[in-house]
Amino acid sequence: MIVSFVQTKGGTGKSTLAVNTCFSETMKKKFGSIALVELDPQGTLKNWWQEREDEERETGNISFHHISSTQKQVFQEGIKAIAMHNELIIMDIPGESTGKLHTRFACAFSDLTIIPMRTSTNDESAFADNLHPIIKEIIRVAPNKSGSFFVLPAFVHPQAKQSKIIEYFNDILPQNTACMDMVFPTRSVYENFNREGLTLAEYGLSVKNNKRHKKQVDKAVSDIEQIAESILTILEK
């Protein structure tokens, strides 16, 4: 099973979602072995994982893989090899303004492609101009891929009515892309949780004596668990 977080523009929360969904209790209980895969040549998650190893943090049933090559055959063979030893692969795909090689690969090979998108004209234009044409072409060639592309409303105000946000996206999205039944709320904790290789839940334990801050972190952890549960619901259909 392969799940990818894809968006051609940066700053939409792909890496945060990939890491914390991967380490969510929901996914760890469901799958015996999970691979977190980064295809970004810049290696943001690679550096995070190195910090995690340096701090000797427990990884449990999760492994990390960084494929920096821009050659299609190299990362295609790499993913196939990783898939042989893991029940679930979660991929973090870089933002790509040109070429979009990794984006095309992820959309074509993933069982589920999740597209974090804000309710902004910039995000909507990036989707319409760069990502939707790729989705249309993939479905044209492989009609069975229809139903595997979902937008996740991202950086939604915590007090916003989720049903209204989801309804908004359902109204504007093309027929071959749906909206998840969950949103990714904006939380200040996402700005600094990952220092020293921490996951969101681990960061929560590190601030447990600060009741106010811990409460905010717990809300963010709950968000991630709900997103993970929504992903499982889609995969099991």
pLDDT digits (tens, 9 = 90+) for 99-134: 688 899 899 999 999 999 998 888 898 899 999 999
Per residue in 32-81, pLDDT (tens digit) is 999 999 988 888 899 999 999 999 999 999 999 999 877 778 888 999 99
Q: Quote the DSSP letter at residue 9.
A: S
Query: What's the pLDDT at 28?
Result: 95
Sort 60 into a burial class: Cβ within 10 Å, 0-12 / 13-18 / 19+.
exposed
Residue 165 pLDDT greater than 90, yes or no: yes
Q: Which of 17-21, 100-104, 164-168 has the lowest mean pLDDT?
A: 100-104
- pLDDT, greater one: 58 or 10: 58
- pLDDT, greater one: 19 or 121: 19
Confidence of residue 97 (pLDDT cuts 50, 70, 90): low
Q: Which residues of 61-89 are buried (b: 16+ CB within 10 A; e: fewer)?
A: ebbbbbbeeeeeeebeebbeebbeebebb
Domain parsing of the chain, residue ranges: 2-235
Instruction: Provide the percentage of residues in the chain whose pLDDT is more than 70.
Output: 99
Query: What's the pLDDT at 8?
Result: 84
Query: What's the pLDDT at 10?
Result: 78
Residue 16 pLDDT greater than 80, yes or no: yes
Integer Cα distance of 199 and 63 in angstroms: 14
Judge contact between 75 and 67, C-beta under 8 A: yes
Query: What's the pLDDT at 98?
Result: 59
| Averaged confidence pLDDT in the chain | 92
CATH of 2-235, one of 3.40.50.720, 3.40.50.300, 2.40.30.10, 3.40.50.970: 3.40.50.300
Measure Cα distances from 200 to 3, 93, 101, 235 in Å. 20, 20, 30, 24
Query: What's the pLDDT at 41?
Result: 81
Confidence of residue 183 (pLDDT cuts 50, 70, 90): very high
Integer Cα distance of 149 and 199 in angstroms: 26
Integer Cα distance of 83 and 225 in angstroms: 24
Mean pLDDT of 2-16: 90
Instruction: Provide the percentage of residues in the chain whose pLDDT is more than 90.
Output: 71
